[in-house]
Structures are given as structure tokens and as C-alpha cells.
Amino acid sequence: MLDPTLARGAASYLQLADRLLPGQITGFYLVGSAALGAFRPGRSDIDFIAVLDAALDRRELRRLRVAHLGSGVRSTVRALAAGDLALPGTCNGVYVPRSELAKPVSRIRPAASHTGPAFNVGSAFDVNPVVWKVFHERGIALRGPQPAELGLDPEPHTLRKWNLDNLNGYWTRWADMAARGQAPVKPLTPSRWVRAWGVLGAPRLHRTVATGEVISKEEAGAYALETFGPRWKRVVDDALAYWRGEPEPAGPAASQRLADAGAFMREVVRSANAIGA
């Protein structure tokens, strides 16, 4: 059974999208934390893949942007009412024409996508081997056939390289900024969220490089504690406490915690590159 907050959020978004794109959305699948059994109200976003009956024209793309803006306003109001500037509960989605769905994931041409405030036409970061693996194996169908019936090709042979490229690119830049005490995100983002995003994010990719599995942020925290030893326990415990909605543990100032998070992430990247080398 879906978490009630998740179910309401997904249903509300789909209802709005259906009004704006009548008859176009033939499949709607939850991925991300929902599919991994790790959705946390007040922390997790709602990630989805929507299957379109056909490609969208310009008018329909403008309507889809309205759906994105409408869902963003609702999640923003809820988050600000709760005093959470990290804006959890945002609907992040990818729209893929049905004719593209059975292609290898690296060859899929999405119609559009949105993540947080960003709306993109013709591109989608989440059309990648990691998300498609979760979609194929654990996606939750709210509309349409089960994912196993869609003929998806996550290209598992590319999974390791994709994760290493991401670690050596995005996450290394993130870690380097954090290690210098610079928040690698937009201003006003809560410092605890920033640290948790990095400290729990990078070990997820490390685990995938090591085992081929895709795990949740909380599972990544437990994995980090087992894999990287007591030196980083305070850093990981700090991140897990935030993600679980617990009080901030005693420790150094926020600037030092951020620098420590960056140092930890550098270690995660270094270790991942050594796997199988």
C-alpha cells in the first residue's frame, strides 16, 4: 500500500496532467524512493515516468509546463507552511512517447521532463540506466501495464560506467565545493539538507558500482557506515538523522560539517574508482 501522502500527491498531479493533456497519458509509473520502498513524507520527492500516446506538439508542451508549475506551487506552499525550504514532495517526472519506450535507454528521446523548478523539452537526466533499472524491476504502475511488460532495456552493461562518470563529474564537483566550505546548491537551501543530499547520495552510486544494486538514501547511509569505517560515522549519522526527521546531533559548526561532508564524498569517489581496477 502506498504512503497516503505519496498516493495523494501522485493522484493530484496525474489528475491535473490529464485535464491539460486529455487522453495522452497512457502509463504512469512511480520510480525513485517510492519504488525502492523508502518514501518519507516531508523528505522525499515524487518521481515518475509518464508514457504518452504520441509525441507532444508545442501547444501540448505549453500545457505540460502548466502542470509542472501547478504541482510546484502546491508543494512549495505545503513545504513553506511546514518551514522546510528544501521543498520536499515535488513531483519530478519524465514524459516518454510510447514509440520510444522499448528502445535502449541511451537512445530514448523523451518529450519533456521536469525536476524541481526546471522544465526541459526534449531531454531528461532521469532517462538513464539507474532510473530505468528501477523502473524495469520495481516501478509502481498507477496506470498502464506492469513495467515488466513494457519491453524496457536499461542497458545493464552501461550501469557501472554511468555511475562512475557521475561520481567523477557531478559528485566530484559537489564534493570539492563542500570541502572548501561552499554550499554546492542554490542560496537558502537548508544546510542539513545539503549535507544529507551529498553524504547519502554518493554512497548510493558506490554501492551500484560495487554490486549492481540500486539502493535508497537510508540504505546508502547504512552501507556507508559498514564500508567506510568509524572515521566517517559522525558525518553519516548527521545525514541519516536529517533524513529520518531527527534532531541534529551535537557536533561542530555547520561550515565544518559541510567541509567534512565534502571530504567524505571525496573518499567515496576515490574508493569507487578503485573497485575492480
Q: How far is CA 24 from CA 64, 149, 208, in A?
A: 11, 20, 34
Residue whose grid cell is 544494486:
213
Q: H-type helices in the chain, by residue range?
A: 4-20, 32-35, 58-81, 129-138, 159-166, 172-179, 191-211, 217-228, 233-243, 254-274
Domains of the chain, residue spans: 4-149, 156-274
pLDDT tens for each residue of 150-183: 999 999 999 999 999 999 999 999 999 999 988 8
Q: How far apart are CA 128 and CA 272, in angstroms?
A: 19
Q: How far is CA 94 from CA 52, 68, 103, in A?
A: 10, 11, 15
Q: Biggest alpha carbon distance in the chain?
A: 55
> Is this structure's pTM higher than 0.85?
yes
Q: How far is CA 87 from CA 152, 168, 209, in A?
A: 31, 27, 30
Q: How far is CA 222 from CA 44, 79, 199, in A?
A: 18, 27, 11
Residue by residue, pLDDT tens for the chain (277 residues) are: 899 999 999 999 999 999 999 999 999 999 999 999 999 998 899 999 999 999 999 999 999 988 878 765 454 444 434 444 444 458 899 999 999 999 999 999 999 999 888 899 999 999 999 999 999 999 999 999 999 999 999 999 999 999 999 999 999 999 999 999 888 877 778 899 999 999 999 999 999 999 999 999 999 999 999 999 999 999 999 999 999 999 999 999 999 999 999 999 999 999 999 998 6
CB of 252 closer than 8 Å to CB of 230? no
CB of 163 closer than 8 Å to CB of 268? no
pLDDT at 85: 42
Four-CA torsion 55, 57, 58, 64, nearest 10 degrees: -60
pLDDT tens for each residue of 115-129: 888 899 999 999 999
pLDDT at 89: 58
pLDDT at 80: 39
Which of 17, 5, 40, 22 shows the shortest CA–CA distance to 245? 40
